[in-house]
Amino acid sequence: MFSAITRVFRTPDLRRKIGFTLAIIVLYRLGAHIPTPFVDFGNVQECLKSSGSTQGLLSMVNLFSGGALLQLSIFALGVMPYITAAIIVQLLRVVIPHFETLYQEGQSGQAKLTQYTRYLTIALALLQSTTLVTVARSGQLFAGSSAPACQQVLTNDAWWAQMLMIMVMTAGTGLIMWFAELMTEKGVGNGMSILIFISIVATFPAAMWSIRQSQGFEVFLLVLAIGIVIIALIVFVEQSIRRVPVQYAKRMVGRRTYGGTNTYIPIKMNMANVIPVIFSSSLLYIPALIAQFNQPVAGQAPAGWVVWINNYLVKGDHPLYWLIYFLLTVGFTFFYVAITFNPVEMADNMKKYGGFIPGIRAGRPTAEYLEYVINRITSVGAIYLGVVALIPLIALATVGANQNFPFGGASIIIMVGVGLETVKQIDAQLQQRHYEGLLR
């Protein structure tokens, strides 16, 4: 293992790429701690120490920003606008035929879709920064804190100061997007995925240390041991694939013979990745958001539906919330896989190039067989995602951890997935130069 790592740094090209990636990561983390203009950094830090754990969508956005959201830094929005824009563009392929046509055009069409994603990212960043500044101005950003300083986290609430803050946060999102594209082009791995990975890892020490302080060293060791087991199981599941065998018949084109090869279609158990978890968290945050804007005036009792939402759907420690979260995650998994994987299109492409699954007729029977396989695998993958998504909520109720608990939910899946993919890319580049990779 150490000899393989030594080969990595002895390879000039690979060493340069890793150095460039680390430099971008340092700039990204530096920007996450530079406050936006007209933000009282001292008051914000005091609120962060005295406030309780955030819930729902706000917690996930703060996680993906590496804690920069609640610090109101220039990179407060993090990578969340780009993630949202990429998901929206991908889903619009089902609704807008032009997007599907661009996707099928190959590299040139996908370049246009990438450009649309960039425009949508800036638009979403403008909307989200406006919302964040408005919430900070109203004093609701740290609603779980009783400190008086949390009501005045801005030093200037004039309209021009708010506009400047919105422009700075939006420009920060554009800069993060540029960083990610530079890392993809000149660094190692997918730039946006690595920035998400770094954002999550940045919150890891604080989350573990809070467990150490609140529950003691024994519980800390127990959580660490359970976390290692969870990581091992997630690695096993994320690496699990179903190989559907495919054979291509021989065909003559001029004087040359093509085909006659055996290959397979790799179908991952978790084809939806963390998208269903993000969808579920976002949907469950809507009732809490509605209830927050329907608080009663002084002297009046809150409405019954507001009380019910506050008791069951806000804190995240009630079994009903867990059940709804689990069912939503399972349902969104099937929904997302059905959108992104088209058995009919794959069967038509196989038939076009003379491919067939042994024992299955080409055309419609092949599409039905692929759909059958996908439904069986997705059933297991959906349950797996639902269980992993509940781990932070169970930890919240048992050991008092916050919802950014590092060994569960979207965070652990992203950490494992990005880590495995980056190591595979380094291994592939080593094999090109030394005929021996990083992995054995």
Convert the pLDDT of each residue in 282-297 to its tens digit. 788 777 777 766 666 5
Query: Is 372:320 a contact under the CB 8 Å cutoff?
Result: no
**Can you give the pLDDT at residue 258?**
61
pLDDT for 259 equals: 60
Model pLDDT, residue 292: 67
- Please state, rounded to an integer, the average pLDDT across all residues of the chain: 81
The model's pTM: 0.80
Average pLDDT over residues 115-142: 86
Q: Which residue has the higher pLDDT, 307 or 418?
A: 418
Domain 32-187 = CATH 1.10.3370.10: yes
Residue 366 reports pLDDT greater than 70: yes
Instruction: Decide if pLDDT at 383 tops 50.
Output: yes
- In tens, the pLDDT along 146-157 reads 666 676 778 887
The type of residue at 383 is I
CA dihedral 64, 70, 76, 80 (to 10 degrees): 30
Provide the pLDDT for residue 53. 47
How is residue 384 written in tokens? Answer: 């797996």
Two tokens at 418? Answer: 């990005």
Are 264 and 244 spatial neighbours (Cβ–Cβ below 8 Å)?
Answer: yes
- The DSSP line for 233-273 is HHHHHHT-EEEEEEEE--EEETTEEE---EEEEEEES-SST
Closest CA to 417 of 112, 215, 200: 200
Cα-based torsion angle of the residue sequence 381, 383, 388, 391 in order, rounded to the nearest 10 degrees: 180
pLDDT at 251: 66
C-alpha to C-alpha distance for 255 and 235, rounded to whole angstroms: 47
Q: Among residues 53, 55, 51, which one has the least CA distance to residue 291?
A: 55
Q: pLDDT tens digits for 226-282?
A: 888 888 888 898 888 889 888 887 766 666 766 667 888 888 888 888 888 888 887
Query: Identity (one letter) of the amino acid at 82?
Result: Y
For 3-49, what is each residue's pLDDT tens digit? 667 777 777 788 888 889 999 999 999 988 888 888 887 777 777 76
User: CA–CA separation, 69 vs 173, rounded Å?
Assistant: 12
Distances (CA, A) of 131 to 111, 155, 324: 30, 18, 27
Type of residue at 135: V
The mean pLDDT of 159-174, rounded to a whole number, is 92
Cα 326 from Cα 347, distance rounded (Å): 32
Task: Measure CA of the first residue to CA of the last residue in the chain; give whole Å.
Answer: 9
Among the ranges given (52-61, 253-262, 298-307, 375-384), the one the predictor scored with the smallest mean pLDDT: 52-61
Taking the C-alpha atoms of residue 191 and residue 114, their distance in angstroms, rounded to an integer, is: 14
Across residues 131-137, what is the average pLDDT?
84
- Say how far apart CA 128 and CA 57 lie, in whole Å: 12
The CATH 1.10.3370.10 portion of the chain extends over 32-187, 204-440
204-440 adopts what CATH topology? Preprotein translocase SecY subunit (1.10.3370)
pLDDT in tens, 168-203: 999 999 999 999 999 988 888 888 888 888 888 887
Average pLDDT over every residue of 211-215: 77
Query: What value does the mean pLDDT take over residues 204-214?
Result: 78
- Position 33 scores a pLDDT of 86
